[in-house]
Structure 1
Amino acid sequence: MTALTLSTSSPATTRVDAIVIGVAKGSGDSGTPVVAPGAETVDKALGGRLAAVLETLGATGGEGEITKLPAPDKLKAPLVLAVGLGAAPAAGEAYDPETLRRAAGAAARALAGTAKAAFALPVADGVESVAAVGEGVLLGAYAYTAYRGADGAAGNGQKAGAKGAKAAKGGRKGARDDARAPLAEAALLGAKPRDKAHKAAVERAAVLAEEVARARDLINMPPNDLYPASFAAQAQAAAKEHGLKIEVLDEKALVKGGYGGIMGVGQGSHHAPRLVRLSYTHAKAKKTLALVGKGITYDSGGISLKPPGHNETMKCDMSGAAAVFAAVVAAARLKLPVNVTGWLALAENMPSGGALRPGDVLTMYSGKTVEVLNTDAEGRLVLADALTRAGEESPDAIVNVATLTGAMVMALGNSTFGIMSNDEAFRTQVHETAQEAGELSWPMPLPPGLRKGLDSTIADISNMGERMGGGLTAGLFLQEFVSEGTPWAHLDIAGPAFNESAPSGYTPKGGTGSSVRTLLRLAERTASGELG
């Protein structure tokens, strides 16, 4: 992880490999970019011609645009990197935190292979700006190189548990010679090392980024090394390290306990399923938040096999469980005065002679029976058992996270997750929380009229409804397993969980760690009494 420090030094006197400055779009027809606050000494070193030089090099100030130029002799650094901030804010207003977060992330990615850089972005507006730049730098500097080179953790499954643990814990070691290491050290110029609020903001940013990296590492890990038992082992190691309580139900305990959904999904694989309960408690906590994550470590679709072209990224179907895992650990590391319980519903969905079949009926942990019409609608089955179990502990709210439906991707695209809830006020609060955290989301309805499509002729409910509005129907199915009177929200992160496009801002290619920031911010707001 990139080392992050605060500094009041001037960009002109800071000895680093690169100085990062911000540049905004110019107004009017000239197109000349505008140098952002924080870069005044760099501009002075160029005789006030920094904007003109950047324009000559083709810079426009567009969001995420990277322009590099040799530093003038008056600077101690050899390189100046200008990152685009988009439109400048109105007079007297600060840059939006997410704009700063993305710009810092883009700059950090562009500086891969660099030992030390100083970020002179606009942070004079206060703690929120310092936190955003810090988060952006650390999130943008992420790289997953565990399976590159002789020292990497790649294996053939013979020692997958040990190799998988090594890959997740040290996922940025053993890179090939041609793979550049992430930025090693970053100094935030303009921030105040002795300011308690600034220091706390950077410390939080470091914990958050490390836990997002934990989720990303798990998502990126190949399924021959990450399966239910090895995932559970990683949770056990983290629980021991951070003082969390953990309970792991193996296949025998799941059968004995009547967890028909989890066992049904996992019965086709030689990797048996698991249900993990990971909990953090605080002596001064007044509220309890339950988080439930879908953890399908590989989803072939089962007997309802996915079509060609849809299997290659299905290792990411455990992204919800990874996010929940990371959020619980982050809450513990930050010592938040709230109780947080994470439920990881882990299974591998495979076709075999013993696999779940379309037409089978499962008896769920709740006692309800479910007719399985499509074995590729498996995530809702494992979540249903975990939601029922989580509700037995009477938490103040339940939030589940899942890469649940392609329909949600069709509705909201690849960057935005949907939020459904049995409580409109709670849905609004979760949406506002995601906005605060800098994650794109959108509130979605649970139309009662779609519920009839889930009716079964032989069981209490079926796992498939109408094709149109499939993402909403999935939410209605889950709602059937939520304890009455408990505020509940369902986050369908199928779009943003795994980035198959080019990296941008602080978002890498591959696993993104989507919703970790939202869940942590939700825990913080619950701890402060803002929710409920």
Structure 2
Amino acid sequence: MDAVSLTHHDPAELAALLADHQGATVVVGLPCGSRGVFAGPGATLLAEALGVDVVDLVMTDPEFDGGATARSVLAVPGPSGPVRVVAVGIGGGRPTPHGLFDAALAARAGVTVLSLLALEAENALGAVAEGHAISAWQYHRDGSPTEARIHLVGATATDSDAVLSRAATVAQATGWVRQLVETPPNTLSPSAFAAAVTDFAEQTAPGSVVVETWDADALRDRGFGATLAVGGASARPPLAVVVRIEGEAQGIGLAGKGITFDSGGINLKRDGGELSWMKSDMAGAAAVAAAVIAAAALGRTAPAVAVLPVAENMPGGAALRPGDVVRHPGGQTTEVLDTDCEGRLVLADALSWLVGQHLSGVIDVGTLTDSGGVGPAYWGCWTNAVALADDLIDSGRRAFDPGWQLPLHPTYRAMLPSRVADIANAAPDHPDSGQLAATYLRSLVGDTPWVHIDNGSAAWLERDAHPWPAGATGTPVRALVEYLHPSA
């Protein structure tokens, strides 16, 4: 697990920091207005410390306009040699914590950072700290963690230590999800996934969470027929990981899709490009596990239970076939028309089991489709309980991990008919969509308040999408942490 050191400093310390931390990258935000790029509080302070006008220097870069996606790297004279400065645009208008989180993340300043971004807005320390800490993450092939040291210059606040402690925990959870999602599928088997969750819980929230693994026999005993069928052709058997914060009250339930590799099964995927990143099809389960564990580490004591079905979806003689019928906990059956719509099948098992526990509500997360077409900046969600969805979306807004609610029309249920089961997992005569996946899952939950989150468009990026680089993002882990243990 990556280590993150976040330290707050008063602006009067900048000159000493520059002298003491040679090799650190200085990050400064530059706003823009009707007259172009100008110096904000951070650039003004840096000019006083170094005697250099950053605005004059950055204007030699013809592509830097001060907009939210602008970035320029400078080398300026310092007290003990050249200082690497990354100037990031923060746009026009009054800077916001969300905008400064994006700026810190997009700065890509490395693992030793001296940031002035928190000077640009009130109450931005945590946002900037989290953005830089997440940006410092890098995939480690040999298991050796990255150690990031982030020095943050900003106004003194009484809660700075608590703010930075939370930012470090959330950043570590995000980095853990990204590491797991990036892990090659020959390495991350279902059992390796389960071991990784157990290790993360022991390191992050010892004594605060309980982690169980249900093997194939336990899945059979609990009626997880779809999970067993989806993983039936793999040489590495399916399982479920259960993460609990125990308590006496009625708690919240969560489910996460954990397909460690998705070939499509008998309905084999044809797009080689898509197949190359199907290792990421467990991003929902990773985000849910990390969120529950991080929330426990931050102090959540209210009960919560997460059920994460984990399997490989492979072709073979024992593979799930189009036309098969699978049974879920509680007895509902599904006709499988498309074996490449396997994520909703394993989530159906988890949701059915959770609903049987009589919880206050259930939330499921999976990379099922394109998140309802909302693009890489959002996760999409559907619900039968507007208040629960509003809470989640508001949590995402506060955590700079935004979501968008999409409509769930009751008539779409008729698109999933079956003569041999209660419902089909795909439409026989309509293209698949996030809407249809949500409609299918809706049939499992009855009157239990429920939200389905599809993070398929945002959990893995095929190319850079500001402020994120290509690859794993961890979304919606930050929104879920904020929901489970709010920051305010």
- Please, what TM-score do these two structures have when normalized by structure 2? 0.91
Structural mapping, 1:99-498, within 5 Å: 99-107=99-107, 109=108, 111-112=109-110, 116-123=112-119, 125-127=121-123, 129-146=124-141, 152=142, 167=143, 170=144, 172=146, 184-192=148-156, 195-241=157-203, 242-243=206-207, 244-281=209-246, 288-309=251-272, 310-406=274-370, 408=371, 411-465=373-427, 467-468=430-431, 470-482=433-445, 484-498=446-460
Asked whether the equivalents of residues 292 and 400 of structure 1 are also in contact (C-alpha less than 8 Å), the reply is: yes
SS in 1 for 2:200: helix
Asked whether the equivalents of residues 64 and 102 of structure 1 are also in contact (C-alpha less than 8 Å), the reply is: no
The CA deviation at 1:62 is: 2.0
1:87 counterpart = 2:82: no
Cα distance between partner residues in 1 of 2:247 and 2:122: 30
The CA deviation at 1:328 is: 1.0
Unaligned runs of 5+ residues in structure 2 are none
**Aligned twin of 2:97:** 97
Asked whether the equivalents of residues 379 and 456 of structure 2 are also in contact (C-alpha less than 8 Å), the reply is: yes
Which aligned runs of 4 or more in structure 1 are off by greater than 6 angstroms? 74-77
Cα distance between partner residues in 1 of 2:38 and 2:250: 47
Judging changes above 3 Å, is the alpha-carbon distance between structure 1 residues 47 and 273 closer, same or farther for their aligned structure 2 residues? closer
Q: Which amino acid aligns with 1:491?
A: I
**Aligned twin of 1:3:** 5
Asked whether the equivalents of residues 10 and 41 of structure 1 are also in contact (C-alpha less than 8 Å), the reply is: no
Judging changes above 3 Å, is the alpha-carbon distance between structure 1 residues 79 and 224 closer, same or farther for their aligned structure 2 residues? closer
Cα distance between partner residues in 2 of 1:76 and 1:171: 29
Cα distance between partner residues in 1 of 2:93 and 2:247: 43
Q: Which amino acid aligns with 2:32?
A: K
Asked whether the equivalents of residues 301 and 349 of structure 1 are also in contact (C-alpha less than 8 Å), the reply is: yes
Asked whether the equivalents of residues 269 and 275 of structure 2 are also in contact (C-alpha less than 8 Å), the reply is: yes
The CA deviation at 1:185 is: 1.8
Asked whether the equivalents of residues 20 and 83 of structure 1 are also in contact (C-alpha less than 8 Å), the reply is: yes
Cα distance between partner residues in 2 of 1:367 and 1:282: 28
> Which of 6, 12, 15 pairs up with 2:15?
12
Asked whether the equivalents of residues 22 and 122 of structure 1 are also in contact (C-alpha less than 8 Å), the reply is: no
Judging changes above 3 Å, is the alpha-carbon distance between structure 1 residues 396 and 240 closer, same or farther for their aligned structure 2 residues? same
Asked whether the equivalents of residues 11 and 19 of structure 1 are also in contact (C-alpha less than 8 Å), the reply is: no
Asked whether the equivalents of residues 25 and 85 of structure 1 are also in contact (C-alpha less than 8 Å), the reply is: yes
Cα distance between partner residues in 2 of 1:324 and 1:196: 32
Asked whether the equivalents of residues 50 and 78 of structure 2 are also in contact (C-alpha less than 8 Å), the reply is: no
The CA deviation at 1:503 is: 6.3
**Aligned twin of 1:175:** none
Asked whether the equivalents of residues 67 and 90 of structure 2 are also in contact (C-alpha less than 8 Å), the reply is: yes
Asked whether the equivalents of residues 426 and 488 of structure 1 are also in contact (C-alpha less than 8 Å), the reply is: yes
Judging changes above 3 Å, is the alpha-carbon distance between structure 1 residues 73 and 401 closer, same or farther for their aligned structure 2 residues? closer
Q: Which amino acid aligns with 1:275?
A: A
Judging changes above 3 Å, is the alpha-carbon distance between structure 1 residues 344 and 373 closer, same or farther for their aligned structure 2 residues? same
The CA deviation at 1:474 is: 0.8
Identity, % of aligned pairs? 36
Cα distance between partner residues in 2 of 1:228 and 1:402: 16
Judging changes above 3 Å, is the alpha-carbon distance between structure 1 residues 85 and 75 closer, same or farther for their aligned structure 2 residues? farther
**Aligned twin of 1:155:** none
Asked whether the equivalents of residues 66 and 82 of structure 1 are also in contact (C-alpha less than 8 Å), the reply is: yes
Asked whether the equivalents of residues 296 and 379 of structure 1 are also in contact (C-alpha less than 8 Å), the reply is: yes
1:514 counterpart = 2:478: no
Asked whether the equivalents of residues 52 and 76 of structure 2 are also in contact (C-alpha less than 8 Å), the reply is: no
Cα distance between partner residues in 2 of 1:145 and 1:263: 32
Judging changes above 3 Å, is the alpha-carbon distance between structure 1 residues 46 and 222 closer, same or farther for their aligned structure 2 residues? closer
SS in 2 for 1:399: strand
Give per-residue Cα distances to partners, 1:476-514, cap 9 Å, x unaligned. Answer: 1111111x3321100000000101103643x23221101
Cα distance between partner residues in 1 of 2:201 and 2:83: 44
Give per-residue Cα distances to partners, 1:80-118, cap 9 Å, x unaligned. Answer: 3211112231xxxxx2112101111222x2x33x6x331
**Aligned twin of 2:59:** 55
Asked whether the equivalents of residues 245 and 301 of structure 2 are also in contact (C-alpha less than 8 Å), the reply is: no
Cα distance between partner residues in 2 of 1:509 and 1:50: 29
SS in 2 for 1:291: strand
SS in 1 for 2:456: coil
Judging changes above 3 Å, is the alpha-carbon distance between structure 1 residues 140 and 238 closer, same or farther for their aligned structure 2 residues? closer
Asked whether the equivalents of residues 14 and 49 of structure 2 are also in contact (C-alpha less than 8 Å), the reply is: no
Cα distance between partner residues in 1 of 2:356 and 2:451: 17
The CA deviation at 1:458 is: 1.6
The CA deviation at 1:245 is: 1.2
Q: How many equivalent residue pairs?
A: 475
Q: Which amino acid aligns with 2:128?
A: V
Cα distance between partner residues in 1 of 2:376 and 2:310: 24
Cα distance between partner residues in 1 of 2:400 and 2:100: 11
The CA deviation at 1:334 is: 0.6
Asked whether the equivalents of residues 365 and 388 of structure 1 are also in contact (C-alpha less than 8 Å), the reply is: yes
**Aligned twin of 1:42:** 46
The CA deviation at 1:521 is: 0.8
Judging changes above 3 Å, is the alpha-carbon distance between structure 1 residues 73 and 233 closer, same or farther for their aligned structure 2 residues? closer
Judging changes above 3 Å, is the alpha-carbon distance between structure 1 residues 69 and 140 closer, same or farther for their aligned structure 2 residues? same
Cα distance between partner residues in 1 of 2:410 and 2:258: 28
Judging changes above 3 Å, is the alpha-carbon distance between structure 1 residues 250 and 325 closer, same or farther for their aligned structure 2 residues? same
**Aligned twin of 1:71:** 76
